[in-house]
Amino acid sequence: MSDIIEHLMRLGMSEYEAKAYIATVVLGEGTIKEISDESKVPRSRAYDVMERLLEKGFVEVGNTNPRCYRANDPAEVFGHLIEDLEKARDEVVNALEEIGSTAEQRDNPIWTIKGEWAIDHKVAEMMDSAKREVVMISIHNDYLRRYAKNVSAASEEKSVSVVIIEKAEDFIGLLGKARLLCISKGKLSPPEPFISQAMESPDKGMEYDVELIMVCDREVSVILSKERSGHRAIISSGTVVDYFINRMMDLTIMEAKECVQDARSRGDG
């Protein structure tokens, strides 16, 4: 039930509106008292909440005493709501793009992104826009699991190499034509202390824990980390950070072994 409430709130309902609407659907139809009891919306607020739902088209009201409310068909109601949201989205996007077309663009070489959707979108965009090569080091595999389909798709058009530190065998056959390598954590030696320290396990009190590093065309790099407050991506282009990350990639690939060959040799044994 809590998931439905959260989804309704994302669509613009208040918490009380979401609870009251769900209660009305459950009851089929009900008075203010019945809806208040079912939804746990305070009775002093329930009337105003139901009247707002009435104005928005989520419910209808019977000409009775006391007033009785009935939920309108959810498929029709939310189909209409989505149409309105899509129309509003298009108008907002067009207006903002027109406003932004004249804005001054500053050449900032390092950007930070937070939020899962924004990070996933940026990583997918980087892999898709790479022209020649994508190289990854997966320290922990949560991100790699999320991007396995993106990696597989990118490997059809460009060179993709993925170095995995733990449970590399889980990814054999899942990353398309990508070159899959494995390396022990002891042989992973970042050339800069700030990267090395960030790779320590989170149970040692670190505020963040690097999970995946990716470089596209040797020009743009991203460091993906899990933090106490969520997730973070640091995007760098044309900086000394990229130099050190590229150096780390080269050293790591030199020490790594082909995972597919290792898996086959273990199977033959």
Positions of CATH 1.10.10.10 in the chain: 2-72
* pLDDT given at position 165: 84
In the chain, list all ranges with CATH 3.30.870.10.
Answer: 110-268
For residues 127 and 155, the answer to whether their CB atoms sit within 8 Å is: no
Axis crossing angle, helix 148-155 with helix 116-129, rounded to the nearest 10: 10
CATH number, domain 110-268: 3.30.870.10
Q: Does residue 110 surpass a pLDDT of 90? A: no
Give me the pLDDT at residue 72, please.
Answer: 92
CATH number, span 2-72: 1.10.10.10
The predicted structure's pLDDT at residue 38? 95
| Tens digit of each residue's pLDDT (9 = 90 or more) over 205-241 | 445 578 889 999 988 999 988 877 678 888 988 888 8
Residue 263 pLDDT level (bands cut at 50, 70, 90): very low
Put simply, whether the predicted model's pTM sits higher than 0.75 gets the answer no
What's residue 106's pLDDT?
Answer: 67
Nearest Cα neighbor of 202 from 193, 211, 212, 213 is 211
- pLDDT over 70, % of the chain: 84
Q: How far is CA 99 from CA 87, 88, 89, 96, 227, in A?
A: 18, 16, 15, 5, 35
Q: What is the pLDDT of residues 6-30, one digit of tens each?
A: 999 988 899 999 999 999 999 999 9
Lookup: tokens for 76: 């029709």
